[in-house]
Structure 1
């Protein structure tokens, strides 16, 4: 009796699980190219928004920078005989700033946050001391003293600026700047300091239209400041942090107190006035995370979404023995890329949350319906729809989180890995 041995038909390499895994992996890498193009589109639209906002706010008013009031007294150098100026900062400087966010300026689809601010200042000077400079009394021109303010936003002043100094009322006027920077100056007319030296208290109000930021240099020997606003997302920066802050959903209140030994500059200067902007305290009035930033953060998870979605289909294919063509993987991948183009286009005309919901639902429904024709069963498409819903929800939560984004993301990825290991434990990978 002859024993006949039946040989199993040879399976082509391209029909093996290894080959299919390689093709799906290569396709995943290829899809990085359109995903990168979408990310470039987001950056381009974001840059366009910044350009429009800069152009729009420049007409209303830019950032508000305040450095003053400074007592300016001319004198004659006893050695060279040249005329120079001495600059003296206040002994005490108190500030109360009220910031009102106005209706955003709109141009096309872009909106610019702008504000109006009323800044009240009061304080006092001490009698200037020229002894350390060795300048005799007869070389000091007390009758040609001035008060000056340095700022960057003269064109957006809402009213003329007047100061009450002792028993005198003085009006500020703009003066030409000798520097090429953006800082401009306001100065009063001449007055005789000797007439107010026994009562050197001052009081004035200045009002601006502005945008983005308010920055104040604490030049008082003791500087106390308070700022209130109907803006609920302030960003405190600069060289000094507020000593108190009360931030609510639609408003904030903050106070600062800076003493002369807290800052690395003196109370008086001769010949030249230094620029002290880097020693200021500041508040930013900008949207913390705008729609384009959220779109950019969402797109960074695109590779993860594509990889996990392909992994789900591949596991289903391996478990159910249903053959899924590489072309069908390609269609699914393009649908996942379309999520981000839908997201950015809808966001520009609505909110990010609404756009994310519409884009997510659209892509999940599209892929689920397409998978019905691929998998010939409603059980697997329902599982795919549920998995994509969980994945998109997970990413949305991470985008909204700031302090706990890394923690939640790490835990989520660990659970996803655990699920993949569980469902793939019985697959025979050698076939």
Structure 2
């Protein structure tokens, strides 16, 4: 009876069912080092983000431009009560208080040329930044102070100034002056509230004495160092913005759509323009005492890298389970068809080689392009597994098939991760074809002997 039990135990562990269970268990066990690889990719990605923030602090961050705004002081008579402590009598006294009225331009035009700069290197990480040459012009006309309840005699037109709100004063790389009709005005930084904006203001001037044909025309230029994005607030009754750049992968975002008829994006860069009217937004052209927060109306362009090397590595690693599972399936089918015995240790060696592909990929990517790194890592792993298969399978026909199948699989994954719009469609079709191939090659296996 004992001899019969030993025979049954031995036959079960040598059966196809037992081998299938062990290979399946090994596949799930290999998910643990694959998870460590994905954590490594995330860690390296976080280190790059830290470097990007460091470079942005030194070079220049996102550019947001809000202005120019005409600022005019005015006085008004304010009543306040004084109570006599002894008698309790209340007397009303008056005092003059100074506030400021803010007026937006009738027309605001901007033409910007954004040049991609050489990558700034921090260790093994690179970060791409830009320089923006921005030209502004437009005019103010007939500020509507009556809407604010201010009378003409209370306006101090001789103490007018022009205000800009923007980000990253330290990234401005040109002298900032404005030509107002025939007068040149210089901007100086002002104390501002705690916000993302810094305030620049010109020296005071006499608004009415500078008017020409009842208009206050202005033009000025700014050169910025920046990274990531450029945004504007459409404060003109008519706001026109034109941006040209050599950047290949822009993203046009914000509250207003760009002009589709003139928008161009190609390998040489992009051209885009906006025209926004006062009826397209819900704020007025004049404000009393406080410049409003209009961040909800921002529009502009984000200069992005569509998929950086760490995103590509992460996307490749998500196919790790598929690669390990299909590779083991190929070995298992060969084992079942050819009756060649493959030990679970040999499966383990193949699985570890497949995991090594991802560590090779990320380490080589950090010193070269993703495409080159993928080619080197893929070729190395396919060659290693193919040569190892020759010693396992004792012939060249099956190892050649394994090498070809792995090459096709890695090529298929590379094509998928390069796609954005059709990745799901192509991936689904590919998996359907793989399933069909497995069903075809396994159709003649006699599973009844398992």
Q: TM-score, normalised by structure 1?
A: 0.95
Q: 1:183 aligns with which of 180, 197, 207?
A: 197
Residue in 2 aligned with 1:149?
164
Q: Distance in 2 between matches of 1:368 and 1:274?
A: 68
Residue in 2 aligned with 1:353?
371
Structure 2 contact 112–135 (Cα < 8 Å) conserved: yes
Q: 2:206 aligns with which of 192, 216, 220?
A: 192
Question: Match of 1:402, SS?
Answer: coil
Residue in 2 aligned with 1:4?
none
Residue in 1 aligned with 2:352?
334
C-alpha displacement of 1:229: 1.1
Structure 2 contact 109–137 (Cα < 8 Å) conserved: yes
Q: Distance in 2 between matches of 1:429 and 1:380?
A: 21
Q: Does 1:212 find its partner at 2:228?
A: yes
Residue in 1 aligned with 2:37?
38
Q: Does 1:117 find its partner at 2:117?
A: no
Residue in 1 aligned with 2:425?
407
Q: In 2 relative to 1, CA 124–324 (structure 1 residues): closer, same or farther, beyond 3 Å? A: same
Q: Distance in 1 between matches of 2:268 and 2:50?
A: 27
Residue in 1 aligned with 2:3?
none
5 Å-filtered alignment, 1:237-316, equals 237-243=253-259, 244-316=262-334
Q: Distance in 2 between matches of 1:263 and 1:78?
A: 34
Q: Distance in 1 between matches of 2:289 and 2:216?
A: 23
Structure 2 contact 34–317 (Cα < 8 Å) conserved: yes
Q: Distance in 2 between matches of 1:267 and 1:324?
A: 80
Residue in 1 aligned with 2:84?
none
C-alpha displacement of 1:79: 4.9
Structure 2 contact 148–286 (Cα < 8 Å) conserved: no
* Residue ranges of structure 1 left out of the alignment (5+ in a row): 1-7
Aligned residues: CA RMSD: 1.5
CA deviation digits over 1:294-317, x for unaligned, max 9?
A: 111111110100010011011111
C-alpha displacement of 1:277: 2.4
Question: Match of 1:224, SS?
Answer: strand
C-alpha displacement of 1:394: 0.3
Q: Distance in 1 between matches of 2:221 and 2:119?
A: 25
Residue in 2 aligned with 1:174?
189
CA deviation digits over 1:62-85, x for unaligned, max 9?
A: 111110001111222455653222
Q: In 2 relative to 1, CA 310–72 (structure 1 residues): closer, same or farther, beyond 3 Å? A: same
Q: Distance in 2 between matches of 1:357 and 1:101?
A: 28
Question: Match of 1:368, SS?
Answer: helix
Q: TM-score, normalised by structure 2?
A: 0.91
Structure 1 contact 67–150 (Cα < 8 Å) conserved: yes
Q: Distance in 1 between matches of 2:244 and 2:356?
A: 44
Structure 2 contact 148–287 (Cα < 8 Å) conserved: no
Q: In 2 relative to 1, CA 57–134 (structure 1 residues): closer, same or farther, beyond 3 Å? A: closer
Structure 1 contact 74–142 (Cα < 8 Å) conserved: yes
Q: Distance in 2 between matches of 1:42 and 1:115?
A: 27
Structure 1 contact 78–135 (Cα < 8 Å) conserved: no
Question: Match of 2:348, SS?
Answer: helix
Segment drifting more, 60-69 vs 274-283: 274-283
Q: Distance in 2 between matches of 1:262 and 1:199?
A: 24
Q: Does 1:96 find its partner at 2:111?
A: yes
C-alpha displacement of 1:221: 0.7
Question: Match of 1:231, SS?
Answer: coil
